[in-house]
Structure 1
Amino acid sequence: MTPSPQDPWALLDAARRVLVVHAHPDDETLSTGPLIADLTARGVHVELVTATRGEEGEVVPGAIAEDDDRPLDEVRAAEIDGATRALGLAARHLLGTAPALAAGAAPRRYRDSGMQWIREGLAGPSDTAGEDSLTRRPLETEVADLLALIASTGPDLIVSYDDEGTYGHPDHVRTHHLARAASAESSVPMLEISEHGAVRELPGTAAAVTAALRCYRTQLTVVSADDAGVLVRHVGGQDQLVPFSAGLRTATTDARP
């Protein structure tokens, strides 16, 4: 029986290959860690593509040794590699780097756009986003790169943010529109992570999610973990509970913002 398009969990349960689309390193764990861990534990082939390298992220004081002269993007690459292993992902990719690169195009880098707080819990665009940032590059170029990855990996489903971009980060919102457009053009269904969606508890993911979060020493501190989830403190001092659950809804078919 073909699952109803209105039942996101039925679509997910029927999928054998899933592509998760995120904006920065750590988003895959904070937003979809329990979902990814549950899927991979059940034998689903899950791959991740990250649009930026998180170059504009602040750093937890003391998280990088004084004699470590690597640029932040290299440090964060090592962190996401650790989280990828902890969650059981089959592969991770960077948008603009093959196979997430349109045929015939030279490799391109989508830079972290940065953000600023508009009010508590809601982010907005940074005043310093450059022309090479994710939010300033042509959406059509980004969609072409994601379509190349979809053609290469053959997912049954795409998973990404809803139109709120979790807390309004401009790169999250842009990635939502990117993923939705690629879903429409490739005819691969898309599910959105959303607090307004259908929620499923995923308690068996605790160990994997906690281990993945501990990889992100530059971005957050794990404060505690219990049956409710993992409490983390972000570099800016904000506390967030990452629950062992996920809310999903089926994306609309409207492809462009």
Structure 2
Amino acid sequence: MNTNTDFKLQEIDTGIYQLQDERENCATLVIGTQKALLFDTMLGLGDLKGFIHQLTNLPVIVINSHGHFDHIGGNCQFDEIYLNQRDFELLPLMRGCIEELERTHKRPLSKLRESLSEEQVAKIRPLADDSVFDLGGLAIEIVALPGHTAGSVGALIREKRLLLAGDAATPQMCLFMDGCQPLPVYQKTLQKMMNLEFDTFLLGHFLRTFPKEILHKFMECTEIVGKKRGHLLVYTWINRYRGMVYFLEMRNPQINDIICIIIKEESAES
């Protein structure tokens, strides 16, 4: 019986679970016959390790989809952690965000602090773009998906025709934070995702699956930058993150959500 209430839980398929913390950050647990893989560790709120152990006693491999604070905060609770090396340079910048994050969250973020400590960061292993993790019965293929950050990756599960995408392509795409790449990099990643073999994908801040065909709408959204009027957005958690938001649809009927893109102010065309 699951007595840990720190996280919401949704079963996506046999042996595949999506988790969500109280700040709507998500992670995905994939359980094979020999190992389990945890894709992201969210913000570090709650007893993530204890929650995972109620679902499986297998050894757990952690893959960080990228180096932003809301995907690596629970790293300190695990031993085997991987991150694309192109995002290692983000980790000191994320360490510098902790005090402001604690003010805006109105609580200490002790696990995030520990996960970003020099001792813990030194334990993170570099992740190659074409890595494959055999969990026993399920193979997880790592796919480079740059744009949101230089080192953003996805995890492709061909047996389930499912892609774990982190923040690589989302309805409200953010390209205005530390590490975010120029718009053409994201557009190239969207095209790459369209050519991959999967039917549905999971994201880093939504507790549900998305159909692959919605990627065409995400691409359409990139094409309105500079053509429609942008609106200034200040990130609630870290005020120095400011961008211009461009809205494609205020409520897409297929996913029942806003589709927009936020780019850095200096990148916006007048």
After TM superposition, the score normalised by the length of structure 1 is 0.31
As a proportion of its length, which structure holds more strand? 2
As a proportion of its length, which structure holds more helix? 1
After TM superposition, the score normalised by the length of structure 2 is 0.30
